[in-house]
Amino acid sequence: MGVVSILTHSFTDGYNREFARVFGGGLERYILDLCSVIHEMGHIPEVHQLSYFEAFQTRTEQIDVFGYPYDMNDVPEAFARMAHAARGPIIYASCIWQPIAYKPGSLGICHGINWDRPGLPLETKQQVAEHIQQAVDGLLNIVSVDSHFQTYCRASCTFSDPAQLILIPNAVDTSYFTPAPPRRQMQQEQEAQWLSQWKEDLEQHEDRLDRIFISSTSDASPPGLEQDHHTDGDTPENMLKQKPEVQNEENEESAESEEQHDGFAVVNKVNEQDAVSRPVRILYPRRVSLERGIIPMMLAADQLLGAFPDLEIEFAGELVEGSTVGRSFRYWHRTHPHANRIFHRTYDFRDIREAYHHADIAVIPTIFSEGTSYACLEAMSCGLPVVASNVGGLNDLIQDGFNGLLVPPNQEALTAALVRLVQDRAERERLGIYARETALAYDLSRWKRKWSEVLRTFLADADMKEGVR
């Protein structure tokens, strides 16, 4: 039985000084699952990570964890100290965009491209390309969680062995993350009818949005997503026109009417089949952080909550107390005029299914730095329709209009897609059915099998065949 050392920037909560608790993020979930595979193979995983505070040593989930204080401007030096202290073959599980001096014969993981922020200086992106080439040259293999990093390396790096880059998409336990009972169902004739009308519906989508939204007549421009604040002049109210005349259209099947809420035009479908007995709930199952799209989500929430009196929004994710984004979110929530319909709760990995089961729509509004999102996979596996931005590995998961809605990473597109689903229960049902079917292709059992094969070869090369170092 041998030790396998995983080096990363985060596993237990080094952000809030809760060193014995695994932080609730995708990277941390990934490492926890990887340690489980290592255990099942008869080896002992250990994790070396960065700490925002003092050095620490703890044990959680049967894993020894070592924390290292570091200089924000010299991450490679901290990884060098971790590599020196590691007791077994090394897996570099994050920060491969840094100029790390890799220990020969080590394995690397890319959890998604995080230098895809449009505003980053070109010089910075060129430096990252050099660092990725350094990783390709210095690591035995690099496992990627999405196809985008694979494509990036093929376009920007040189290497001789195509098999050096291994694609293993993130996964979900489809036997645990199941639709809430009663399970959503669609009769065969309904499904056939929808499939025949799918293309037509997509073509009509733009016309439909024109009926929902009113373009702005003010000179205020939309808030920028590149900062974690906005000016008083860029409020959602200033981006909307005054109330237009109400128009009604009637036919034998249903009637549609337009109402105004906070200057926001909403199409209400009067149809008994679409009626619901409880509020529609939108779930944001992400960390409250800039890259995860918290700013456009908050702006979208401002408009949605004003437009739909029965709508609820839950933010289910970790928050770094004291951070600029964290303080802004707390203030926004506390002072919001619809605060009673905004919920924030941090879930354990094992409890997050509860949030999906109480939701009608999931939203993954990432603006940069996204791999194959765990939250997206979990929501899909639970049969929820997902509104996702077309960033990173989300493009691998969502086929727009089939198993979810894919939008540009901005507040306007996000809000439009959410309005579309809030108002159309039938479409939510349809998208959720095919989301669940898609998730089955990403079942956790497949992920474990692929990682076991990679580790078996890796550890054999490191003289750990059959568990003996």
Instruction: Look at 464 and 116; give whichever has higher pLDDT.
Output: 116
pLDDT class of 196 with cuts at 50, 70, 90 = low
Instruction: Look at 287 and 196; give whichever has higher pLDDT.
Output: 287
Strands of 217-299, DSSP E: 248-250, 255-261, 264-270, 281-284
pTM of the model: 0.77
Asked whether residue 388 carries a pLDDT value surpassing 90, the answer given is yes
| Predicted confidence (pLDDT) per residue in 124-180, tens digit | 999 999 999 999 999 999 999 999 999 999 999 999 999 999 999 999 999 999 999
What pLDDT shows up at residue 278? Answer: 81
pLDDT class of 276 with cuts at 50, 70, 90 = very low
Of 267-281, 287-301, 348-362, 403-417, which gets the smallest average pLDDT? Answer: 267-281
pLDDT class of 237 with cuts at 50, 70, 90 = very low
Q: What is the rounded distance in angstroms from the CA atom of residue 455 to the CA atom of residue 291? A: 31
What pLDDT shows up at residue 204? Answer: 56
Of 72-81, 148-157, 268-277, which gets the smallest average pLDDT? Answer: 268-277
| Predicted confidence (pLDDT) per residue in 420-453, tens digit | 999 999 999 999 999 999 999 999 999 999 999 9
What pLDDT shows up at residue 160? Answer: 94
What percent of the chain lies above the pLDDT cut of 70? 78
Instruction: Look at 151 and 264; give whichever has higher pLDDT.
Output: 151
- Calculate mean pLDDT across residues 235-254: 35
- Calculate mean pLDDT across residues 348-362: 93
What pLDDT shows up at residue 365? Answer: 97
Of 192-196, 333-337, 426-430, which gets the smallest average pLDDT? Answer: 192-196
Q: What is the dihedral of CA 174, 179, 183, 186, to 10 degrees?
A: -80
Q: Is residue 25 within 8 Å of 170, Cβ to Cβ?
A: no
Asked whether residue 217 carries a pLDDT value surpassing 60, the answer given is no
Count other C-beta atoms under 10 Å from residue 229's C-beta.
11
φ, ψ at 350 (rounded to 5°): -85, -10
What pLDDT shows up at residue 270? Answer: 35
Helix (H, G, I), strand (E, B) or coil at 69: strand
pLDDT class of 187 with cuts at 50, 70, 90 = low
pLDDT class of 190 with cuts at 50, 70, 90 = low
Asked whether residue 215 carries a pLDDT value surpassing 50, the answer given is no
What pLDDT shows up at residue 379? Answer: 98
Asked whether residue 1 carries a pLDDT value surpassing 70, the answer given is yes
Among residues 53, 73, 49, the alpha carbon closest in space to that of 63 is found at 49
- Calculate mean pLDDT across residues 3-12: 96
Of 206-220, 330-344, 360-374, which gets the smallest average pLDDT? Answer: 206-220
What pLDDT shows up at residue 139? Answer: 97
pLDDT class of 222 with cuts at 50, 70, 90 = very low
| CA pseudo-torsion sign 452, 458, 464, 469 | negative
Among residues 315, 302, 304, 298, the alpha carbon closest in space to that of 279 is found at 304
- Calculate mean pLDDT across residues 350-363: 95
Helix (H, G, I), strand (E, B) or coil at 39: helix
- Calculate mean pLDDT across residues 67-73: 92
37: left (phi over 0), alpha (psi -120 to 50) or beta: alpha
Query: Mean of the per-residue pLDDT values for the chain?
Result: 84
What pLDDT shows up at residue 201? Answer: 54
What pLDDT shows up at residue 364? Answer: 98
What pLDDT shows up at residue 321? Answer: 85
| Predicted confidence (pLDDT) per residue in 24-48, tens digit | 788 999 999 999 999 999 999 999 9
What pLDDT shows up at residue 462? Answer: 77
What pLDDT shows up at residue 225? Answer: 30
Q: What is the rounded distance in angstroms from the CA atom of residue 187 to the CA atom of residue 429? A: 11
What pLDDT shows up at residue 16? Answer: 84
Sheet order of strands, 405-407 included? 342-345, 312-316, 281-284, 361-364, 386-389, 405-407
pLDDT class of 15 with cuts at 50, 70, 90 = confident
What pLDDT shows up at residue 238? Answer: 33
Pairing of strands 386-389, 63-69: unpaired
